[in-house]
Amino acid sequence: MEVTNAFRMPLIGDVAPSFKAKTTQGDISFPEDYKGKWVILFSHPADFTPVCTTEFMTFASMMDDFKALNTELVGLSVDSIYAHIAWLRKIKELEFKGMKDLEVTFPLIEDIRMDVANKYGMIQPGQSNTQAVRAVFVIDPKGIIRLILYYPLSTGRNFDEIKRVILALQKADSDGVATPADWRPGDDVIVPTAGSCGTAKERMESQNEDTYCLDWFMCFRREKK
């Protein structure tokens, strides 16, 4: 007998699964309400837990950075809206690594029935049947999933990396390039690999102050500092 799953975990390149949800900032229709914007959709295991609290304080402290990148934040856990509100009020009273008096103004989804968490593969039985893992989905302005990160319950996320990924994806889209390991804004970028012998030969013979090649398949464009 064939067994089918109710949900398939979405993959990079998929259209982001749609849903309607109640949040701490009102009802949302996702991803329709965010058309034209980048979105970081992320889950956390539970309200009033220490790792999650440090993460929310960090996200709240970086909201202006993300908004400057046309990027919105949307959080989720399987707690109730009332637990969310109480927790966010408590966060405003805490101080961590110099961050204090932080108001979380991005929406936090109530997902008591785990409808959204299941659609996005955030419930992973090897970790917990009742809590979402620390998932991160980066969704582009067309509603396409561009990056997926999963962290275990015990490990807080690297927020510099999440911001770096947004910058790298936006650079790749705007310039038609790829970004090398540990790329940061201002670093040289990789141009598309030559698709023919003629192009490869031409590139190797016509390197200039703007482009250079380590080999025919690995050519870079210098970025203006």
Which amino acids are annotated catalytic?
52
5-14 contact pairs (CB < 8 A, 24+): 6/118, 7/118, 7/119, 7/121, 9/120, 9/121, 10/119, 10/120, 10/121, 10/137, 10/145, 10/148, 11/145, 11/148, 12/145, 12/146, 12/147, 12/148, 13/144, 13/145, 14/144, 14/145
| Residues that constitute the known binding site for substrate | 134
Angle between helices 50-61 and 159-175 (to 10 degrees): 40
Question: Distance (Å, rounded) from C-alpha 112 to C-alpha 17?
Answer: 18
Helices (H), 21-176: 50-61, 63-67, 81-91, 115-119, 159-175
| Residues that constitute the known binding site | 134
Question: Distance (Å, rounded) from C-alpha 114 to C-alpha 41?
Answer: 15
Residue in this structure with the two tokens 């109530």, named with its chain if needed: 110
Residue 38 and residue 72 in contact, taking contact as beta carbons nearer than 8 Å = yes
